Structure 1
Amino acid sequence: MPVSRSRKPKSNRAPGPGRKPASGGRSPGRRPAGAGDGGRSRRLVFGVVAVVVVLFLLLGSVAALLVGGGDEASDGAGGEESVVPLPDGHPALELARRDADDPLAIGDVDAPVVVIEYADFQCAFCGTHARGVHERLVEEYVATGVVRIEFRNFPINGPESDAAARAAWAAGRQGRFEEFYLAAFAEEFHLDSGRFSEEGLRELAEEAGVPDVELMLTEMELPEAGEAVGADAEEAMELGIVTPPSFLVNGHPVQGARPFAEFAELIEPLAEAAGES
């Protein structure tokens, strides 16, 4: 399914306030694909990571089918004894931004484990993850400094998904991304239900405690909002990810709304190995 209008062609319009100018119309912080050695290196990194991610996701899907899924599939990650940290310098590890000013991230910037989440606000399984596993991850690992969660917008379900992604980005500009994330996923709903219409977004912003709701609604329409969302979606597609939610746990892929135990079976040994290094 195509990503919505967030994947519009990059423009050379001036960026909004507080953002650095983007080179050549590309998204902020992303080099043009053909920018000499840097561009070639970036394509090579994504090519290598995409192969790794696709293979892991395919193997993970087969394993899930074999064990039947659900909570009974909690051993699908292979158990702690089979988790081997990726070597330093591995391309998959470079995807973690570890930017202290990243408004779409929570947790210590130097946490030993980074969980990257690719999600669509209209994805039912993303909602299942947010209402269950996400809250446990925050309580047990983020709050204790073990895990940092970095969110990537991957809106594949049409205009309302795109609007929600841009609104979440704008809420993050006011320091309320996590609150908006939880409000948006707080209950089940149907696709294109109007939850992410202008009025729906206004209500969610108020629920999330966004200080200036009108500013959020204005900033979500900035060109840089579309560029930021489009950059996240492009990253997901370059990795071969086709359905949300998908995750990278220190580079180890996890597909779908998996049980908390599967995340724990990755996080625990990876954190322990990081502490020993």
Structure 2
Amino acid sequence: MSQPTPRLSRRLLAWLLPLTVTVIVATLTALAWPARTLDPDDPLGPTSFSEPLDFLIRDLNNPLALGSVDAPVRIFVHSDYQCDLCAVWSHTTLPEIVNTYVNSGKVRLVWQSNALVGSDSERATRAAYAAGLQGRFSDYHAGLFPNGSKRTTDQLTDDALFALAREIGLNEPQFHSDFYSVKTAQALLQNVNESRMFDITSIPAIIINGEHLEQTLSTEETFSLIEDNLRVPQ
């Protein structure tokens, strides 16, 4: 007599179903959504590298953007949550830029997290985006780089990321829904496609008003470059 086939628990199904949907949608999107290029005839893209992804910088609905869309200095940061240098830069220079320039309306900063270093960074990127949809990207981002260090694999499980959301006071059901949502999976893939336009080969990659920095600058050097751009007539 054959044994009855064991059934998956409801808890396991509740975890597998949204994850499976996300993976399927992400795969289909990657196949169907070609990367944009800096073609002057492309109505969706900028016409020159000196105007870096203006359609991203000025997107009011971008949950990974900070500051006024009319700020005279625009900073585009390409990063990954499993990058040691990104963790240090986020802990030392980023808060200073936000406090001194973003909050005063002088800088618009857009964060681009591409989850290129495996499943840990992919989960962290989805979590940061989900937090951004509640207007708390900065707080969650700081939690992903505690004391200027990247989190370990054990600290980037789904449960650990949900715990961080709880710790900073996010709406947990909404965070859970956004974390697994199709919208978040599509946004992650769009980030990857859009960053190809800059031919990013190392991270953190920082672009200030169209100038792609060849190396990561100190806080003082970054401030100096921002001030130089603020002195340029608009």
Q: What range describes the TM-score normalised by the shorter chain of this pair?
A: 0.7 to 0.9
Amino acid of the residue matched to residue 132 of structure 1?
A: T
- Which structure 2 residues correspond to residues 5-84 of structure 1 after superposition, within 5 A? 8-10=27-29, 26=33, 41-42=41-42, 49=49
Distance 2:110 2:149 in 1: 25
**Residue aligned with 2:164, SS:** helix
Residue type matched to 1:159 in 2? S
Q: Alpha-carbon deviation of 1:260?
A: 1.1
Query: Using CA pairs below 8 Å that are at least 6 residues apart, which structure has the higher relative contact order?
Result: 1
> Is the Cα–Cα contact under 8 Å of residues 119 and 154 in structure 1 kept in the other structure?
yes
**1-side partners of 2:62 and 2:216: how far apart?**
24
Gaps of 5+ in 2: 1-22
| Structure 1, gaps ≥5 residues long | 13-24, 50-89
Q: 2-side partners of 1:245 and 1:170: how far apart?
A: 22
Correspondent of 1:245 among 196, 204, 224:
204
- The alpha carbon displacement at 1:43 in A equals 9.6
Distance 1:32 1:92 in 2: 16
Residue pair 1:166, 1:226 contacting (<8 A) in 2 also: yes
Any idea what SS the aligned residue of 1:149 has? strand
For 1:91 and 1:145, how far apart are their aligned partners in 2? Answer: 19
The residue number in structure 2 matching 1:272 is 231
SS at match of 1:194: helix
Deviation at 1:47, TM superposition (A): 9.7
Shift in CA distance, 178/39, structure 1 to aligned 2, threshold 3 Å: same
> Are residues 236 and 266 of structure 1, via their aligned partners in 2, closer, same or farther at CA, if it must alter by over 3 Å?
same
Number of matched residues?
A: 211
Letter in 2 for 1:140: T
CA RMSD in angstroms, aligned pairs only: 3.1
Residues 190, 139 of structure 1: CA spacing in aligned structure 2 closer, same or farther, 3 A cutoff?
closer
Q: Percent identity?
A: 25
Say whether the 8 Å CA contact 1:107–1:148 is kept in structure 2.
Answer: yes
Letter in 1 for 2:218: P
CA, structure 1 residues 266+96, in 2 after alignment: closer, same or farther (shift >3 Å)? farther
Given candidates 96, 103, 111, the residue that maps to 2:63 is 103
Which residue does the alignment assign to 1:235?
194
Q: Is the 2:86–2:204 contact (alpha carbons within 8 Å) kept by the matching residues of 1? A: yes
